Amino acid sequence: MAALENRPFVKMNGLGNEIVVLDLREAPLMVPPEEARALARDGVLPFDQIMALYPPQSEGTHAFVRIINADGSESGACGNGTRCIALYESGRTGADHLVFESVAGPLACSIGPEGITVDMDVPRFGWHDIPLAGPVADTRAIELQAGPAEAPVLRAPAVVNVGNPHAIFWVDDVEAVDLARLGPELEHHPIFPERANISAAQIVSPEHIILRVWERGVGLTRACGTGACAAAVCAARLGLTGRRVTVTLPGGDLVIDWRESDDHILMTGPAEIEFDGRLTAAMLGAPAGAE
Ligand SMILES: N[C@@H](CCC[C@H](N)C(=O)O)C(=O)O
């Protein structure tokens, strides 16, 4: 029998980033990676991330959240998924201010007229924080390139950890970059011992970035909240933009404010509940009723 069989789920999205919320607080269990992979593969419940909720570990928090990618790997952060669990929990409790915990630390969320704002904590730029495979004096532009000589070669990404590792390449036109081909090569580049999310970022103005993301453990997604945070803080740090930008992804816009007073990253955007149901053996890759 599949471990997750018959568990309730809620299908949500954050700007088209496909999210499945599993509220496991009543009967906690670890999400088997092979069941996550089967669920992502079977097409009935396509998802980019599972946001699995566990009983809170600290006073005043709503849940501990573990984030599982479609390939079964775990991530320390998921911006779009965090807005989704904030909306889900607000619907259950009526609260407009919520705090979750994750392996990367606390996630304070507030629901307001502009959308759902998540405090994504502070960015980390040290080579060992990303992490990179070895010491790099200045991670503002590491020496890395990919792509055939005849195509626009991606060069010298900025790198940052915003709860998960990101590499951002600055390009003149995001549509001219074949991220579907270069993404997997770069995600698994040996310079990234924990792999990395790979973005192509086009600076439109000091207040506007267009972004495309190849997500670690998933692939191309319609939106990546941590990718938007990563591109925003790296662009500001390089003087390419201000500290408050709109990031346009295929699924829509996020507003990122890299707060001057404490360097926290505030991400604001929508979330949507689509439908709910219960997981079946077939969805989890096991024959129904199998012991
Ligand atoms: N879609 C997420 C990112 C989820 C985790 C990422 N794939 C990773 O493994 O680091 C977001 O909205 O941030």
Q: Which H or E element spans position 180?
A: helix 179-187
Indicate the residue type of 262: D
Residues 6+ apart with CB under 8 A from 239: none
How high is the pLDDT of residue 139?
A: 78
Output the CA angle 175-149-223, nearest 5 degrees.
25
Mean pLDDT on 37-55: 89
Average pLDDT, the chain: 93
What does the alpha-carbon distance between residue 116 and residue 271 come to, in Å, rounded to a whole number? 7
Output the CA angle 195-175-146, nearest 5 degrees.
40
Confidence of residue 152 (pLDDT cuts 50, 70, 90): low
Residue 24 or 140, more confident? 24
Position in ligand 1 atom list of the atom nearest CA 165: 10
Q: Exactly one of 84, 109, 224, 229 is catalytic; name it.
A: 224
What does the alpha-carbon distance between residue 8 and residue 235 come to, in Å, rounded to a whole number? 40
229 has catalytic annotation: no
- CB 224: neighbour CB atoms within 10 A? 34
Residue 221 or 281, more confident? 221
**For 39, which DSSP code?**
H
How high is the pLDDT of residue 165?
A: 98
Going from N- to C-terminal start, the domains of the chain cover 8-121+272-278, 145-263
Q: Which residues of 79-115 are buried (b: 16+ CB within 10 A; e: fewer)?
A: bbbbbbbbbbbbeeeeeeebbbbbebeebbbbbeeeb
Tens-place pLDDT, residues 190-226: 999 999 999 999 999 999 999 999 999 999 999 999 9
Give just the sign of the alpha carbon dihedral 63, 67, 70, 71: negative
- Return the closest-CA partner of residue 239 out of 175, 170, 161, 154: 170
What's the fold here for domain 145-263?
Diaminopimelate Epimerase; Chain A, domain 1 (3.10.310)
Residues 6+ apart with CB under 8 A from 177: 152, 154, 169, 171, 200, 212
Nearest CA to ligand 1 atom 4: 78
What does the alpha-carbon distance between residue 72 and residue 33 come to, in Å, rounded to a whole number? 4
Question: What residue has token string 């053996």?
Answer: 281
**C-alpha of residue 291 to centroid of ligand 1, in Å:** 33
Least confident range from 81-90, 113-122, 152-161: namely 152-161
Q: Which CATH architecture has domain 8-121+272-278?
A: Roll (3.10)
Q: What ipTM was reported for this prediction?
A: 0.94
Tens-place pLDDT, residues 85-111: 999 999 999 999 999 999 989 999 999
Which protein residues are within 6 Å of ligand 1, measured from CB? 17, 48-49, 69, 75, 77-81, 164, 197, 215-218, 221, 224-226
Mean pLDDT on 270-279: 97
Do 8-121+272-278 and 145-263 have matching folds? yes
Beta bridge partners of 11: 20, 275
